């Protein structure tokens, strides 16, 4: 997993790791760009063009296309991520992006054991008279709660999320976990039925693949300051990995588009 310790995230459990990617993304883009005006087919020039470094090819595609917001050529490289420990609500938002994006999300039907294990652990801790913080820590391994602080919504309304309110949210989630376990263990409910009472802050892992253009479009929509804080963290991690993969294109993106609420090219 690539190191992202220098990024300031809302939750230290949030993570994104690269599962696979086009080895030479700039070469793919350059070949596509070159075919646009080549009299011949570019495959016969592959060895010659592949002899150029990724950095040189990156400079060429930036100069001739990316700088001019001609982004069609960057649809050819692809990258696949494993998104880890983000809440279900973020996964639902992320899946609204469908063009050039593919998702496989952790099922709540087939992964019920993690919730049942947590319910059992909470029950054991309560039998041992564990304090609230100890129980809360266990719950937060599987459910996400925002940090205490000042927040604002998309309409600009401001509010303060206090320790007292956060504790109440944890207690509410704890009751949902216990009820979920009771439905399955005692009443014989199927997980796909019992999950209806779970809170949306359950952490849910997923795999997502982007082409380079669709990834930057995701960042266009999810990195501005009026986007939900958690999905901004997700987009921040995507852009971090994109910058390691296609640095020349990322440099142009960060200079011209990052966080500016521009329509995607």
pLDDT higher than 80, residue 109? yes
Least confident interval from 2-11, 112-121, 154-163, 239-248:
2-11
Span 160-184, mean pLDDT? Answer: 98
Q: Quick check: helix, strand or coil at residue 54?
A: helix
Task: Enter the CATH code of domain 15-106+205-256.
Answer: 3.30.1360.170
What the block records as the tokens of 178 is: 């216990």
Span 35-50, mean pLDDT? Answer: 94
pLDDT higher than 60, residue 58? yes
Q: Is the pLDDT higher at 260 or at 254?
A: 254
Q: Is the pLDDT higher at 154 or at 145?
A: 145
d(CA 117, CA 132): 18
pLDDT higher than 90, residue 178? yes
Handedness of CA 222, 223, 228, 233 (dihedral sign): positive
pLDDT higher than 60, residue 165? yes
Which residue do the tokens 């029950």 mark?
A: 123
d(CA 154, CA 225): 9
The structural domains of the chain, with segments of one domain joined by +, span 15-106+205-256, 113-197
DSSP letter (8 states) at residue 10:
S
Average pLDDT value for the chain: 94
What the block records as the tokens of 184 is: 């399955």
Taking phi over 0 as left and psi of -120 to 50 as alpha, with beta for the rest, 142 belongs to alpha
pLDDT higher than 90, residue 154? no
**CB-CB contact of 206 with 105 (8 Å):** yes
pLDDT at position 5:
57
Span 56-85, mean pLDDT? Answer: 96
Predicted TM-score (pTM) of the model is 0.94
**CB-CB contact of 206 with 83 (8 Å):** yes
The string of pLDDT tens digits covering residues 183-234 is 999 999 999 999 999 999 999 999 999 999 999 999 999 999 889 999 999 9
pLDDT at position 4:
57
């Amino acid at each position: 997993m690539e190191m992202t310790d220098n990024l300031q995230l809302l939750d230290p459990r949030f993570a994104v790791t690269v599962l696979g990617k086009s080895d030479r993304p700039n070469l793919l883009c350059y070949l596509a760009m070159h075919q646009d005006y080549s009299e011949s087919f570019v495959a016969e020039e592959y060895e010659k063009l592949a002899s150029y470094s990724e950095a040189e090819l990156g400079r060429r595609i930036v100069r001739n296309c990316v700088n001019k917001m001609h982004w069609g050529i960057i649809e050819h490289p692809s990258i696949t991520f494993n998104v880890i420990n983000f809440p279900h609500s973020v996964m639902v938002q992320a899946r609204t992006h469908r063009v050039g994006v593919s998702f496989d999300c952790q099922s709540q039907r087939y992964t019920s054991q993690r919730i049942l294990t947590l319910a059992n652990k909470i029950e054991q801790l309560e039998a041992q008279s564990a304090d609230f913080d100890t129980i809360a820590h266990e719950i937060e391994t599987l459910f996400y709660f925002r940090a205490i602080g000042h927040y604002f919504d998309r309409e600009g309304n401001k509010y303060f999320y206090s320790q007292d309110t956060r504790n109440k949210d944890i207690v509410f989630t704890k009751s949902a976990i216990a009820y979920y376990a009771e439905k399955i263990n005692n009443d014989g409910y199927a997980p796909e039925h019992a999950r209806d009472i779970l809170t949306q802050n359950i952490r849910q892992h997923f795999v997502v693949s982007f082409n380079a253009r669709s990834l930057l479009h995701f960042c266009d929509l999810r990195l501005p300051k009026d986007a939900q804080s958690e999905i901004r963290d997700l987009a921040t991690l995507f852009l971090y990995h994109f910058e390691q993969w296609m640095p020349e294109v990322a440099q142009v993106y960060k200079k011209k588009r990052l966080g500016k609420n521009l329509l995607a090219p």
